[in-house]
Amino acid sequence: MDDTALRSLFDFLRFPSVSTDPARRGSVADCAAWLAQQMREAGLSAEVYPTPGHPVVVGRNKPTPGLPTVLIYGHYDVQPEDPVSEWETPPFEPTVRNGVIFARGATDNKGQIFAHLQGVAATLREHGRLPVNLIMLVEGEEEIGSPNLQAFLQEHRESLGCDVIAVSDTGMVAPGVPTLTYGLRGIAAMELRVKGPSVDLHSGIYGGAVRNPATVVAQLVASLHDSEGRIAVPEFCDGVVPLEDWERQAWAKLPFGDAQLREVTGVPSLAGEPGFTALERIWARPTAEVNGLGGGFQGVGTKTVIPKEAFAKLTFRLVPGQDPERILDLAEAYLRKRCPEGVELELIRGHSGKPYVVDPHSACGKAAQDALRRAFRGRDLALIREGGSIPIINTFKEELGVDTLLLGLALPDCRAHAPNENFPVENFYAGMALNQALLEELARVRF
C-alpha cells in the first residue's frame, strides 16, 4: 500500500506544537506553515492567518455555486508531553508498534484532522473535484480554550459561511464501532490560591498558632463534594437538563461500560454521583475536578515548613442547562464563604465554554450516520455524548448559526493528554474513507 499519507502524518506529528508553552511558539508557527503547504499539495488553496496567539490555517477548494458548503474544523496544537519520562518512545518521534502510532497528538487531533485532509487529497486525485464546497479550518489554540477563535470567526464571518460543520476530535466506543457524538460537556476553569504567612515558616516554631494554607486548600477542595460524591455547591445542578429515556436505554446497550472504563483507567473500582451509571456520570452530569494541587515542600525527604501559600487548579465540566459564568459565580461564593480567617483566598477564573447538544436524527445527522456506517463497513452505530469539551463548537452555533457533526476516531485507550498517546494506523485510513463518504453524503442533503 502507498504509505505517503502516513509518512506525511509522521512529519506532522514531529512538530512539538504545544500551544500552552511560550518556548514552543516557533514550533507552533512552523507547524501551521507546514500544514498550509500540505493543504496546497492536496489541491486546496490555503492561507495562514496570524492571531494575537497562534495562527489559524484555512484551506478551501474552488467553490461551485449550488453545492452545499461544509466546514471541517480541527486543531494542530497539542497538549504538553509531560511527564516525558513515562513515554516508551519519544513523544515527538512517531513510532508504530503493532499497527498503532505512538506520538503526542496522534489522536488529539493531528491524526484525525490529517485523515480528513488526506481523504480530500484522495478524492481530488481520483475525481478532480469535491462533491461539496469545502472550508478546512485548523486552529492552533484548541488545547488552551481557543482564546482568539471567536474574534476570528467574527472577522471572517462572511467567508466562513457554511451549511454544516464536521469535526473528528471525539471518540469511538470500541474499535471498529462507528460512533456519532451528539453532545459535549462545557467547561469552566478556576484557580484557587490561598495565601497565609508573609514567608515560609518553621512548622515547629509557629505550627499550631498559624493557619496552614495547604490545609485550607485541602479543606476547600474537599468541600466541593458531599460524602457520597454529589457536588455540594448549592444551586450548582439547578436547571440541569435530565437525560432522556432513549439515551439511558441506548447507552446501557453499548459495547462500552463499567468494565471497559475500569480497564482503560486502571482503577480498582469506579466512583461518582449516586443514581447514575458511569457513562451517564461522564456524558450527562456535571463535575468538579482538581487538575492540579500544590504548595509547600515537594523535594526529596522531609522539610518542616508551613508554606506561605498553596493552590489548586479546578475545572468544572458542565452539561446542558448550565452556564459557565453562573457556575463560576456559585463556586466563588461557596468557596469564599467556607474559607477560614487567617488566610487570603484568591480565585482566578480561566477559560470556559458552554456545553453542546445537537439532534443526531436531523438530515445532516443521518448523512453523518450513513458515512460512518460506510467507513466502518456496516457495524452497528453508537449514538453517544462525550465528557470532553470543544468550546468552540457552541461558538460556531452562536457566530455562524450552524450545527456541528462530531464523528470521532479516538479509541478509549488512546491516552489523549497522557503519556503514550496513540492512534491505530487503521483508524487513520478509516478516517480518510470517512471523509470521502461524508462529503458524498452531505452533498445529497437539502439545506
- Count of C-beta atoms within a 10 Å radius of residue 51: 16
Residue 388 interacting with ligand BES (CB under 6 A): yes
CA–CA separation, 145 vs 393, rounded Å?
A: 11
Q: Which of residues 10-49 bind ligand BES (CB under 6 A)?
A: none
User: Which residues inside 182-201 make contact with ligand BES, applying CB under 6 A?
Assistant: 184, 187
Shorter beta-carbon distance to ligand BES: residue 339 or 407: 407
Where does this chain touch ligand BES (CB under 6 A) — which range of 58-66, 138-146, 243-251, 326-334?
138-146
What's the CA gap between 393 and 356, in Å, rounded? 7
Binding positions for ligand BES, 216-235, rule CB under 6 A:
none
What's the distance, Cα to Cα, between the start and end of the chain in Å? 38
Which residue bears the cell 480541527?
Answer: 74
- Binding segment (CB under 6 A) for ligand BES, from list 168-176, 241-249, 367-375, 376-384: 168-176
Contacts of ligand BES in 319-358 (CB under 6 A): 351, 353
Q: Is 280 in the site for Zn ion (CB under 5 A)?
A: no
| Residue from 17, 19, 76, 108 in contact with ligand BES (CB under 6 A) | 108
Please state the closest distance from residue 109 (CB atom) to ligand BES, in A: 6
Instruction: Please state the closest distance from residue 362 (CB atom) to ligand BES, in A.
Output: 20
Task: Report the residue from 81, 139, 141, 143 that binds ligand BES according to the rule CB under 6 A.
Answer: 143
130-138, 165-173, 373-381, 397-405 -> range binding ligand BES (CB under 6 A): 165-173
Residue nearest to ligand BES (CB): 388
Stretch that binds ligand BES, among 20-28, 265-273, 275-283, 386-394 (CB under 6 A): 386-394
Partner that binds at residue 295, options Zn ion, ligand BES, none, CB closer than 5 to 8 Å by kind: none
Binding piece for Zn ion, criterion CB under 5 A, among 40-48, 107-115, 179-187, 262-270: 107-115
Question: Is residue 199 classed exposed, middle or buried when 0-12, 13-18 and 19+ CB atoms within 10 A define those classes?
Answer: exposed
Computed from CA positions of residues 18, 72, 99, 173, in that sequence, does the dihedral angle turn out positive or negative? Answer: positive
Residue from 139, 280, 386, 441 touching ligand BES (CB under 6 A): that is 386
Contact between 108 and Zn ion (CB under 5 A)? yes
Cα 362–Cα 120–Cα 100 angle in degrees, nearest 5: 95
Q: Which of 401, 407, 410 is nearest to 428 (CA)?
A: 410
Scanning 91-99, 211-219, 303-311, 385-393 for contacts with ligand BES by CB under 6 A, the matching segment is: 385-393
The full length of the chain comes to: 447
The C-alpha atoms of residue 38 and residue 60 are separated, in whole angstroms, by 12
213 binds, among ligand BES, Zn ion, none (CB under 5 to 8 A by kind): none
Is 124 or 418 the residue whose CB approaches ligand BES more closely?
418
213 by Cβ neighbours in 10 Å (0-12 / 13-18 / 19+) ranks as buried
Quick check: 120 and 134 in contact, CB under 8 A?
A: yes
24 vs 60, which CB is nearer to Zn ion?
Answer: 24
Smallest separation (angstroms) from Zn ion to the CB of 77: 9
In angstroms, give the least distance from the CB of 297 to ligand BES.
30
Q: Residues interacting with Zn ion, by CB under 5 A?
A: 108
Q: Residues interacting with ligand BES, by CB under 6 A?
A: 108-109, 142-143, 145, 169-171, 184, 187, 351, 353, 386, 388-391
